[in-house]
Amino acid sequence: MILNDIAQLRQQLDTPLFAQLSQTADELGLPCYVVGGYVRDLLIGRATNDIDVVVVGSGIEMARHFAASLGRGAHLSVFKNFGTAQVKYREAEVEFVGARRESYNRNSRKPIVEDGTLQDDQNRRDFTINAMAICLNKDHFGDLLDPFGGLDDLKDGIIRTPLDPDITFSDDPLRMMRCVRFATQLRFLIEEETFEALGRNADRLQIVSGERIIVELNKIIESPQPSRGFVELHRSGLLEKILPELSALDIVETCHGRKHKNNFYHTLEVLDNVAERGGELWLRWAALLHDVGKTKSKRWDPAIGWTFHNHNFIGEKMVPGIFKRLKLPLDDRLKYVKKLVGLHMRPIAIADDEVTDSAVRRLLFDAGDDIDDLMLLCEADITSKNEVRKQNFLQNFKMVREKLVMIEEKDRIRNFQPPVDGTEIMKLFNIQPCRAIGEIKTALKDAILDGQVPNEHDAALAFVIEKGHTLGLNPVTD
Ligand code: CTP
């Protein structure tokens, strides 16, 4: 939805907060505008509480007076070094800044900033849809100042820079990521010249910190249809700079007339499937990386054709390096993504032939609480265009899921703790820590997972005694 006329726009601004902003600006005699993302989101009916205000004059002075006029409940923060201030009031966060002109140095994202006019301020913004301003002074309250046709671009669904895109992107290369991010979030198209400039300036991404890149990349991944963003990143050459492991999957080789599938586009389909099923950020990362091991594992086997043996394990090993390089968290979230990449072939392998209890128990044991996410990933991984094949797989997965529920109810394997632990084994045989204990524990775990021993204490103890015998250990009797 785009607001059609100025009357509608004024209506949206008819709130006590904007009335107070207007009054304060007039009292100080300062031209004052709401700008940027707030205006964009207001026009597309995506109301937010983050309001950016530009003042032709001192943003800090305006913020001080505005906070004072609101009285108790308003919280003012001043950032003198940046010449900005923030007022928090109820849900709203209003940022104040003086209109500025910026010039950039080629080797840094940090601009040289000078006072400027509203037009200077609009010129330095990233996209036409982010460069609109609405006047807050009483005489022109609600007037839209849109020098670059941002409203039309918003209506037409277009991302375009206000100035020459080479300048806009070279000034601040993070904007290239923002460009693709907005296009993905809003389902807009990137205007041709703007798109071409992405490719020309891709190298400049080097001067942007990994943390900032990842914020944008994660927003792309969290969009409703993330593949749109990845296609643009790839086509423009940006992906090669960020995630070359992924762009390397865009290849189809032929041997003896047989092709393998394009694993880049397959990966994007899986990612979209996961997004469509409501998968969260880290599950989406697992989808994005689930096949990265395929480049290294690809082989032509005359008997079978193209194979990607162990690509899941190779991929799992690649994940930490990728996380480290991209400044992604190296904590449980890394572990989770690694685990899902490593395990993503298991459900399909056990669904291939007869689904045995023992295979399902082992899967439950290895996946633990992430079993549902793993199953979702595996179902999303079925991108076959052959409807019969696809239905077959889905049917098999349904069976695996049913078995998972049954076995979990029966054996409670999900958070498996062996019913006889190391301490009890040491006491039982009156032994100190040694290799035999590990051996007995592994044998017990395997026996339970294979269904030879029930997951309960007495049966497990009997097994441990028997296993001890084979190792020359006898229980002490007292
Ligand atoms: N901006 C810019 N270049 C950047 C970052 C921001 O020109 N690299 C300008 C844009 O006009 C933008 C405004 O600063 O609209 C506010 O930026 P920000 O709060 O980061 O983004 P929003 O546009 O508000 O969007 P979102 O909240 O979705 O990040």
Check residue 409 and give its pLDDT. 83
- Is 417 contained in some domain? no
Nearest residue CA, atom 17 of ligand 1? 37
| pLDDT given for residue 450 in this prediction | 85
Separation of 126 CA from ligand 1 center, angstroms?
8
Residues with Cβ within 8 Å of residue 120, at least 6 apart in sequence = 99, 100, 101
Q: Domain ends where: 242, 276, 306?
A: 242
Query: How confident is residue 80, by pLDDT bands cut at 50, 70 and 90?
Result: very high
Q: Sign of the C-alpha dihedral, residues 160, 166, 169, 173?
A: positive
For residues 120 and 171, state if they share a domain: no
Any alpha helices (H) in 115-203, and if so which ranges?
118-123, 150-156, 165-171, 174-186, 192-201
- Cα 35 to middle of ligand 1, angstroms: 10
- Beta strands in 241-323, from DSSP E residues, in sequence order: 254-255, 258-259, 299-301, 305-307
pLDDT of residue 356: 81
Q: What is the pLDDT of residues 170-213, one digit of tens each?
A: 989 999 999 999 999 999 999 999 999 999 999 999 999 999 99
Which atom of ligand 1 is closest in space to residue 178's alpha carbon? 8
Task: Please tell me the predicted confidence (pLDDT) of residue 23.
Answer: 97
- Nearest atom (ligand 1) to Cα of 124: 7
What are the pLDDT digits (tens) for 348-393? 877 766 778 888 888 888 998 999 999 999 999 999 888 988 888 8
Q: How confident is the model at residue 2 (pLDDT cuts 50, 70, 90)?
A: low
Residue 416 maps to a domain: no
- Sign of dihedral through CA atoms 186, 189, 191, 194? positive
pTM of the entire structure?
A: 0.89
Let me know whether 108 and 29 are in one domain. Answer: yes
CATH number of the domain that 227 lies in? 1.10.110.30
Domain final residue, candidates 242, 259, 281: 242
Q: Does a structural domain hold residue 250?
A: no
Domain final position from 156, 186, 206? 156
Nearest Cα to 96, choosing from 149, 146, 34, 158? Answer: 34
pLDDT for res 319: 98
Q: List, for residues 316-341, the tens digit of each pLDDT value.
A: 999 999 999 999 999 999 999 999 99
CA dihedral 181, 186, 188, 193 (to 10 degrees): -40
Work out the burial of residue 387: count CB atoms within 10 Å of its CB; fewer than 13 is exposed, 13-18 middle, 19 or more buried: exposed
Cβ atoms within 10 Å, residue 203: 11
Percentage of the chain beyond pLDDT 90 is 71
CA distances from 233 to 160, 199, 283, 351, 439 (A): 16, 9, 20, 35, 51
Domain check: are 129 and 176 in the same one? no
- The label of the residue with tokens 């994940």 reads 319
Residues 67 and 172 in one domain: no
> Do 134 and 178 sit in the same domain of this protein?
no
Q: What is the per-residue pLDDT for 263? A: 96
Judgement on whether residues 54 and 182 belong to the same structural domain of the protein: no
The binding-site residues of ligand 1, defined as CB within 6 angstroms of any ligand atom, are 36-37, 52, 125-126, 130-131, 172, 174-175, 178
Domain holding 21: CATH number?
3.30.460.10
**CA-closest candidate to residue 433, choices 445, 420, 423:** 423
Q: Would the pLDDT of 1 be above 70?
A: no
Residue 199 lies in a domain: yes
Indicate whether 313 belongs to any domain: no
Instruction: Determine, yes or no, domain membership for 308.
Output: no
Question: According to the model, what pLDDT value does residue 353 have?
Answer: 64
53 and 184 within one domain: no
Residue-wise pLDDT for 28-50, tens only, equals 999 999 999 999 999 998 878 99
Q: Are residues 10 and 149 both part of a single domain?
A: yes
The residues near 290 (Cβ < 8 Å, ≥ 6 apart) are: 267, 270, 312, 315, 340, 341, 344, 377, 381
Residue 280 domain-assigned? no
Q: Which domain does 71 fall in, by range?
A: 6-156
Domain count, the chain: 3
One-character DSSP codes across 103-126: E--TT-SPPEEEE--HHHHHHTSS
The share of the chain scoring above pLDDT 70, in percent, equals 97
15 C-alpha vs ligand 1 centroid, how far in Å? Answer: 23
84, β-bridge pairs: 79, 97
